[in-house]
Amino acid sequence: MTTPLPRPKRKDPIKRTRLPALPPAPRSREALGLTAVAAEGRFALQRCEECGRVQYPPRQLCGGCLSAELAWRDVPDHGTLIAGTTLHHSNDVYFRERLPWRLGLVGLDCGPAIVAHVMEDCRIGDRVRMSVRLDRSGRAVMLAMPPGDEVPNMEDDLELRETTCHPRHRRVLVTNGKTPAGQALVRAVAATGAREVYVGNPEPWHASPPLAALAEIPAVTVFPLDVTDSQSVHELAGRIGAKVEILVNNGYHLRPGGIRGRRDINNPRAEMDVTYFGLLRLAREFGPVLRERGADGPFGACAWVNVLSVYALVNNPAFATWSASLAAAHSLSQCLRTDLLEGGVKVVNVYPGPLEDEWQQLLPPPKLTPEALANAVVKALVDGVEEVYPGAVAQEIHARMRENPKEVERELSL
Amino acid sequence: MSTIAEAATGAVARDPEAARTLARFLADLLAGRIRVVDLTETLEPGFPTIILPPELGQCWPFRSEEISRYDERGPGWYWNNFSCGEHTGTHFDAPIHWVSGKDLPNNATDTIPVENFIAEACVLDCSRECEDDPDFLLTIDFVEAWEAEHGTIPPRAWVFMRSDWSKRRDPAAYLNMLEDGQHTPGPDEEVVPWLIAMRDVHGFGTESVGTDAGQAIHFSEPFPCHYYMHRNNRYGLQCMTNLDLLPARGAVILSAPLKIEQGSGSPTRVLALVPAPAG
């Protein structure tokens, strides 16, 4: 069992807040392929398409036959912890602050032997599950984990925590509590043991009984927040910006239609205002303090979630203008990711498929319920991934976009 | 008709009586014998706009983006870009706003004769009735009872319905939107054509969102205030405040909207000139 972390005490206000130190970030271009794998929470390694050898670390050529025909393939992730050691000294600032630190050598069933970070519950000789994860620099690292998920308090393992964004004991802002998805998100986050859940209430003159019901949850506080209003975002950042450790940007404004829709651009503009400018306004106001607080105690700032849609990646003509606003937000999120990684804070983009809601009513199933979307967001935080595609439709579109984006574009236009 | 040159040199002969009236007016204003009451809500992002079904077009709420504030974006000056709808905040409704007034002459903010932006107001105090019943409707009987006390409404006067609705500072209570729609007071469907035909009123003004009652869509003539007033080239003022500071008769209302080309209305600084209390 992993030693559980106690609920944090209030911070000593006269102590200097520790600045985020980051683990070494430089990687070769080949090794960045592993970052892509880690971003999605898969386990893939380079495999030689000619001789079938699985290799690690990533290289330009196959170490067995010198072929350049290398492809990233999902491979079995189990192996044996052959050897291990515990570091008590490091010249790297990041590791110095986190000593002692366990390392080990894992012999993978699929071939390679890999030097990896090792969790507290793995002993030498044990079977382990190898995981490629994003560290606080946003780069891929290998972590040896117990083979099952049954280890009590596993999420409190100190080395695992460096790659995850668990909401427990953290203060989470969900920017829009007026949508069913937002309400499900608040419930799901509160259920993880979040210390506080702040919920944005846009257009407060519009009474919302479901939002009022959320306020009954002890950890939940509702605040006015309208991401289309710079002043409103500024004011809320002034009130709670320095407390937020996870921000979930779930702004949602969809009006079906494309170029041949209504003559005016009011609806497309409103979509842009929520989806794109909303993200920009939040990022300007909440981003800087989040970045500064990346190492503020064991439950410091750790994640920024954007709930987008798989149509951020390819335009759905039935929701063309909304898709365009999502594409803009997707692009901006990449800049935000660069900014926040300086503080060790992860940007998690969620790209669900069709949702079970009033604006996507006529889309055929399968559609994602608000609860399923919320659970996918929480799982992404717990797993520490950077990209998640909840729902069968999103999974399929994502897989096929990797193979042949043009094909997906044409199919969506039918 | 004077020439431009005469106007520039001040050589036009002016009516001395009117000049004395204006001088007296200014003297009274400076001396505080005439007070100015602001009937305008502050334009700010939190002020509610009318809510329509979400699939329909919507009016923008007020928004402001700073251009510079004595900083690197403009070292010596402060200013903002703002955006809003023509019907955001305290605002003026022009006849072109409604389909019934779309083809009338001089029906838009840029073409309405400027004299029409100054008119007397008759203020009908319905605040007690509205406190008891958010769906209170102004009737001909109510107006006649008011006239019995204050005299007949003169031609080309505003009729302002004082509901004290502006005292509802909670935006949800102000809009009072329930599952079956908005519940706010307004005129019934008989009093509006009566006010136009029998009293030749200038327009109708309210404190709530809309010159019509919140449930007016369900009347046999939906939105009668918009329909009849604008069909007869009359005007509307809504989201006003401070109507409780006005006398029942005798306030002069200044309500010039922005000169928007073919504008259907505009946020407006509505001012009332009222006699100071005697003594």
Phi/psi for A161 (5° steps) reads -60, -25
- Please compute the mean of the pLDDT values over residues B96-123 and round it to a whole number: 98
The closest CB to that of A204, out of B60, B63, B171, belongs to B171
Give residue B3's pLDDT.
Answer: 60
| CB within 8 Å: B63 and A255 | no
| CB within 8 Å: A226 and B172 | no
List the 159-178 stretch of B: residues with Cβ below 8 A of A.
171-172, 174-175, 177
Q: Which residues of B touch A262 (CB under 8 A)?
A: 57
Cα radius of gyration rounded to whole Å, chain B = 20
Cβ proximity of A160 and A102 under 8 Å: no
- Please compute the mean of the pLDDT values over residues B151-180 and round it to a whole number: 95
Q: What is the 3-state secondary structure (H, E, C) of chain B?
A: CCCHHHHHHCCCCCCHHHHHHHHHHHHHHHHCCEEEEECECCCCCCCCCCCCCCCCCCCCCCEEEEEEEEECCEEEEEEEEEECCCCCCCEEECHHHCHHHCCCCCCCCCCCCHHHHEEEEEEEECHHHHHHCCCCEECHHHHHHHHHHHCCCCCCCEEEEECCHHHCCCHHHHHCEECCEECCCEECCCHHHHHHHHHCCCEEECCCCCCCCCCHHHCCCCCHHHHHHHHCCCEEEECECCHHHCCCCCEEEECCCCCCCCCCEEECCCEEEEECCCC
Q: Which of B91, B97, B226, B230 is catalytic?
A: B97
| CB within 8 Å: A230 and B65 | yes
**Any idea what DSSP says for residue A152?**
T
> How many Cβ pairs within 8 Å bridge chains A and B?
39
The closest CB to that of B175, out of A205, A228, A262, belongs to A205
* Interchain contact A16–B (C-beta under 8 A): no
pLDDT tens for chain A, 414 residues long, are: 788 888 888 888 899 988 999 999 889 999 999 999 999 999 999 999 999 999 999 999 999 999 999 999 999 999 999 999 999 999 999 999 999 999 999 999 999 999 999 999 999 999 999 999 999 999 999 999 999 767 888 888 899 999 999 999 999 999 999 999 999 999 999 999 999 999 999 988 888 999 999 999 999 999 999 999 999 999 999 999 999 999 999 999 999 999 987 889 999 999 999 999 999 999 999 999 999 999 998 899 999 999 999 999 999 999 999 999 999 999 999 999 999 999 999 999 999 999 999 999 999 999 999 999 999 999 999 999 999 999 999 999 999 999 999 999 999 987
CA B254 – CA B25 distance, rounded (Å): 15
Give residue B6's pLDDT.
Answer: 61
Q: Which residues of A touch B174 (CB under 8 A)?
A: 205
Identify whether B1 is part of a domain: no
b or e along A84-95 (b: 16 or more beta carbons within 10 Å of the residue's beta carbon)? beeeeeeeeebb
Cβ proximity of B265 and B211 under 8 Å: no
Give residue A100's pLDDT.
Answer: 95
Cβ proximity of A276 and A328 under 8 Å: yes
The closest CB to that of A207, out of B61, B65, B177, belongs to B177
CA A119 – CA A101 distance, rounded (Å): 9
Distance of CA B173 to the CA centre of its chain: 21
Q: Which residues of B touch A255 (CB under 8 A)?
A: 55
Closest by Cα among B84, B85, B113 to B97: B85
Is the pLDDT reported for residue B200 higher than 90?
Answer: yes
Identify whether B194 is part of a domain: yes
The closest CB to that of A206, out of B45, B51, B57, belongs to B51
Residue B8's pLDDT band, with cuts at 50, 70 and 90, is low
Identify the three-state secondary structure at position A277: helix
| CB within 8 Å: A255 and B55 | yes
Identify whether B182 is part of a domain: yes
Q: Which residues of B touch A266 (CB under 8 A)?
A: 57-58, 60
| CB within 8 Å: B175 and A270 | no
Closest by Cα among A157, A181, A156 to A169: A156
Is the pLDDT reported for residue B5 higher than 70?
Answer: no
Domains of chain A: 29-161 (2.40.50.840), 171-412 (3.40.50.720)
Q: Which residue, among B42, B47, B50, B55, would best test binding to A if mutated, counting the most A CBs under 10 Å from its CB?
A: B55
**Closest CA–CA distance from residue B232 to any residue of chain A (Å):** 29
**Annotated catalytic residue B87:** no
The closest CB to that of A228, out of B63, B172, B177, belongs to B63
Give residue B125's pLDDT.
Answer: 98
Give residue A376's pLDDT.
Answer: 98
Q: How far apart are the first and last CA of chain B?
A: 44
For the stretch A243-296, pLDDT in tens is 999 999 999 999 999 998 788 999 999 999 999 999 999 999 999 999 999 999
Identify whether B81 is part of a domain: no
| CB within 8 Å: A229 and B63 | yes
**Closest CA–CA distance from residue B251 to any residue of chain A (Å):** 32
The closest CB to that of B174, out of A205, A224, A266, belongs to A205
Give residue B10's pLDDT.
Answer: 63
What six digits make up the tokens of B127? 């605040």
Give residue A40's pLDDT.
Answer: 93
Give residue B2's pLDDT.
Answer: 53
Closest by Cα among A350, A288, A305 to A173: A305
Q: What is the mean pLDDT of chain B?
A: 95
**Residue B41's domain is classified under what CATH number?**
3.50.30.50
Expressed as residue numbers, the domain containing B168 is 37-58+86-275
Identify whether B10 is part of a domain: no
Please give the tally of structural domains in chain B: 1
Identify whether B15 is part of a domain: no
Q: Which residues of A touch B52 (CB under 8 A)?
A: none
Residue A110 CB: number of other CB atoms within 10 A?
A: 18
Is the pLDDT reported for residue B9 higher than 90?
Answer: no
Identify whether B239 is part of a domain: yes
Please give the model's pTM, rounded to 2 decimal places.
0.93
**Closest CA–CA distance from residue A204 to any residue of chain B (Å):** 7
| CB within 8 Å: A206 and B46 | no
List the 219-238 stretch of A: residues with Cβ below 8 A of B.
224, 226, 228-232
